[in-house]
Amino acid sequence: MAPRICGTSTTLASLDACLQTSSYLAAHATRSFSLTCRNEKITKGRYEMVKWIKEKAMNNFDKNHPTYLGPHVDQPFPSNPLFRSQSVLSESMKNRIYTQVMDHGVAMKAVSEEMQVDVRRVAAVVRLKELENHWKLEGKKFATPYAKAVMKMLPQSKWAQGDMNIPHEPINDIPVHKLSMQQLFVPVSESRHFTREDAAKAFHEGLLSADKRSPQRELIEIERQAAEEGGDRATSIEEFRKEAQEAEEEYAAELARKSELEDAKIKKSRKGRFEFRIKRYNSETVGKYGRARDATGWRYGQALQDRKRGMVKIPTSVP
């Protein structure tokens, strides 16, 4: 779009350019009786923006693969090289994670170790896939065109069985503890064997060492066994998988038992459309004023505070 000359909003230099490109002046000459100025004017800033978009952005950003502003290939914000667009799991990786966990019953920790994906991400992938399958059963419509377009625009991690794959993300991230963020000078004799354990103790008595705070503690043991003489990594990995599976099953059984116990405490009776659930409750546990934190419901004579001004009603968690 060429700038329209109107008043003094353009400089003489840009006027030159306009004379060549704009047909407005010619059109204006034929309508010499019109003295009023065109209403739509374009400022220099806008002109430059439109020019940039037409020359650079139009061709560069409507592609079927990741394209960021740069200057680095994976850098979306030009002024911040410390933020990069990191790859997401490809559809095939997600499918494999789901089948491994749900169909083959492999423990999530084992899948995480095998595919080098964080355990929390493995769990989230399974949860989302499960929801997706539920939608399929219900016959709900997916956002397929959107998903296809988005996946084309994002860098993706690939994984193939048996290959030397580049890990998707570190699986043994250890969050930096608040207590260890201070600078500390501990005089130690040179002959002393000062380990991570000691360093943690130096910061605080209760602070655990990195080994103990690791989310994949068993893997450290495996690596230790493998490094020992006569150690075989493959067998210890196999053992780890078995143990992880057992631990997971145990945990699931424990959860089931707990919920069963909870259920047993509730007496249910069905009346037509309604189901009454009755649970024994000790009225002594509601506190001095009947407003203890975990006390139940509304009680006569006690005003509810939740409509009072300044009371925050935004939930802090959704179970």
Partner 1 sequence: MRKPKRFYSLNRPKVRQSWNKHNLYNLARMVGDQPPMNGMRTFFQQKWDAKARTRGYHGDHIPEKKWIRLFDRRLRSAVDMPPKYLALNDGSEQAAGRGSGLTTNQVSAENFWATAEVSNQFPDRVNHPRMRSASRLSKNTLLAQPLSNMTPYMQMTFAPLERRLDTAIFRALFASSVRQARQFVIHGAVKVNGKKMVHPSYQLNPGDMFQVDVEKVLYGTGQQKIPQESVRFKSRLEKAEEREEKAQAQLLKENSGEVESESAEEGSESAEGAKSATLSEDEQLALREQLLESLLVDVKMVLRDKTRMKLSAKDKSRLRVFRKSAAKFLARPEGSEIEADELIDELQTQMKSLNMYSYGKTRGEASEGAEEGEEVREPNEQQKQRINRALDIEGLDDKQKEMAIKVIGYEHLKKSELRNLADLLKQEAENPIDESKPYATPWRPRPFMSAFAFIPRYLEVNPNICAAVYLRHPVARKGLGEVPTPFPYFTSQLAHNWYLGRG
* Footprint of partner 1 on 108-137 (CB under 8 A): 116, 118, 120-121, 124-125, 127-129, 131-132, 135
Q: How far is the CB of 214 from partner 1 (least distance, A)?
A: 7
Nearer to partner 1, 208 or 286 (CB): 208
Q: How far is the CB of 270 from partner 1 (least distance, A)?
A: 25
Strand, coil or helix: 292: coil
Angle between helices 233-265 and 108-115 (to 10 degrees): 150
The DSSP bridge pattern shows strands 88-89 and 156-157 to be parallel
Q: Which of 15, 81, 92, 299 binds partner 1 (CB under 8 A)?
A: 81
Q: Which of 141, 265, 293, 307 binds partner 1 (CB under 8 A)?
A: 141
Q: How far is the CB of 220 from partner 1 (least distance, A)?
A: 5
User: Among residue numbers 242 through 261, which ones bind partner 1 (CB under 8 A)?
Assistant: none
Asked if 178 is part of the footprint of partner 1 (rule: CB under 8 A), the reply reads yes
Q: Which of 15, 16, 25, 52 binds partner 1 (CB under 8 A)?
A: 52
Asked if 188 is part of the footprint of partner 1 (rule: CB under 8 A), the reply reads yes
Nearer to partner 1, 206 or 319 (CB): 319
Question: Max CA-CA distance within the chain?
Answer: 100
- Residues paired with residue 270 on neighbouring β-strands, in sequence order: 275
Q: Which of 22, 76, 207, 243 binds partner 1 (CB under 8 A)?
A: 76
Strand, coil or helix: 86: coil
Q: How far is the CB of 290 from partner 1 (least distance, A)?
A: 28
Q: How far is the CB of 114 from partner 1 (least distance, A)?
A: 14
User: Which token pair is 152?
Assistant: 């084309």
Chain position carrying tokens 């250890």: 174
Asked if 53 is part of the footprint of partner 1 (rule: CB under 8 A), the reply reads yes
Nearer to partner 1, 41 or 129 (CB): 129
Q: How many residues does the structure list for the chain?
A: 319
The total of other beta-carbon atoms located within 10 Å of residue 76's CB is: 14
Say if residue 71 is preceded by a cis peptide, omega within 30 of 0: yes
Query: Cβ(47)–Cβ(55) under 8 Å?
Result: no
Nearer to partner 1, 158 or 268 (CB): 158
How many residues belong to the site for partner 1 (CB under 8 A)?
A: 100
Residues 278 and 276: their CA atoms lie apart, in Å, by: 6
User: Among residue numbers 148 through 167, which ones bind partner 1 (CB under 8 A)?
Assistant: 149-151, 153-154, 166-167
User: Among residue numbers 202 through 241, which ones bind partner 1 (CB under 8 A)?
Assistant: 209-211, 214, 216, 219-224, 226-227
**Could you give the count of Cα atoms lying within 13 Å of 212 in the half-sphere of its Cβ?**
10
The answer for residues whose C-beta is within 8 angstroms of residue 269's C-beta and 6 or more apart is 275, 276, 278
